[in-house]
């Protein structure tokens, strides 16, 4: 599958402020005017919430000094706190050109492709493609409910949460974040939590996003 047009369906999630738009994470189109991201990216707060549509195609040289962006106001349509999923609505006629499937489609060793905006917490909006392997399929319990996740053998950085994970021509998951026992080490080295410096990144199965759209 060619991903050059990925900027047509992968967007940055942001929150407007008097000083401009603050980047929060990644989202992707899952229905007509509907965007999926994680709950922790939005904090379930739609105040001044917006999406930014990338202006460059993946094959372009993305100008990191170009701060002009197209912003669309977003509202929250659905939230699943247990699965860390948030569905946003924008006033635009956009629809996905791919299928939502789930983690049953992949196995450890499967090659998958991830898109997102790593280091968005520093204001860096560079749509980035990463190709990696699935390391494991796991069940993670939240509030007594076990949900399907899988592990990517790659290191995730702030801004990539909410990014789509492709297997062939379908989205099989959404990136949640690095494995961090206890949530945080309480230490920051140059803005980096040492607990996240590893290649264990969790992804939730896209089947749960599909269920929220029904």
Q: pLDDT tens for residues 84-143?
A: 999 999 998 887 888 999 999 999 999 999 999 998 888 899 999 999 999 999 999 989
- Helical segments of the chain, H only: 39-42, 207-212
Domain 99-212 classification at class level:
mainly beta
Could you state, in order of their start, the residue ranges of all structural domains in the chain?
4-90, 99-212
Q: pLDDT tens for residues 157-206?
A: 889 999 999 999 999 999 999 866 665 555 555 455 655 655 689 999 99
CATH: 3.30.450.20, 1.10.760.10, 2.40.128.130, 2.40.10.10. Which one for 4-90? 2.40.10.10
Contacts of 213 (CB under 8 A, 6+ apart): 30, 31, 34, 87, 100
| Amino acid 3: pLDDT | 85
Q: pLDDT tens for residues 20-55?
A: 889 999 999 999 999 999 999 999 999 999 999 999
Q: Which run of H or E residues covers position 6?
A: none
The token pair at 18 is: 């008097």
Integer Cα distance of 127 and 115 in angstroms: 7
Contacts of 120 (CB under 8 A, 6+ apart): 12, 23, 24, 25, 26, 158, 159, 160
| Amino acid 17: pLDDT | 85
Integer Cα distance of 181 and 88 in angstroms: 29
Of 113, 120, 122, whose CA–CA distance to 169 is shortest?
113
Integer Cα distance of 199 and 192 in angstroms: 15
Residue with tokens 């706190």: 81
Of 130, 150, 157, 152, whose CA–CA distance to 10 is shortest?
130
- 3-class DSSP state of 26: strand
Q: What is the DSSP letter of 58?
A: T
Of 180, 136, 131, 177, whose CA–CA distance to 158 is shortest?
177
Residues 178 and 24 sit within 8 Å (Cβ to Cβ): no
Cα angle 135, 141, 143 (rounded to 5 degrees) comes to 155
Whole-prediction pTM value? 0.90
Domains 4-90 and 99-212 share a fold: yes
């Amino acid at each position: 599958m060619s991903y050059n047009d990925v900027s047509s369906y992968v967007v940055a999630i942001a929150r407007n402020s008097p000083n401009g738009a603050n980047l929060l994470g990644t989202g992707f189109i899952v229905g007509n005017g509907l965007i999926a991201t994680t709950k922790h990216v939005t904090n379930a707060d739609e105040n001044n919430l917006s999406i930014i549509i990338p202006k460059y195609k993946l094959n372009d040289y993305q100008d990191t000094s170009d701060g002009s962006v197209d912003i669309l106001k977003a509202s929250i349509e659905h939230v699943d706190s247990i699965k860390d999923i948030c569905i946003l609505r924008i006033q635009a006629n956009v629809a996905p050109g791919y299928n939502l499937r789930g983690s049953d489609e992949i196995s450890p060793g499967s090659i998958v492709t991830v898109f997102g905006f790593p280091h968005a917490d520093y204001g860096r909006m560079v749509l980035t493609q990463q190709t990696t392997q699935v390391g494991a399929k796991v069940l993670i319990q939240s509030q007594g409910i076990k949900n399907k996740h899988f592990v990517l053998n790659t290191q995730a950085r702030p801004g990539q949460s909410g990014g789509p994970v492709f297997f062939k021509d379908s989205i099989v998951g959404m990136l949640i974040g690095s494995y961090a026992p206890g949530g945080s080490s309480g230490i920051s080295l140059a803005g980096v939590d040492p607990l996240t410096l590893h290649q264990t990144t969790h992804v939730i199965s896209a089947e749960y996003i599909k269920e929220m759209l029904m």
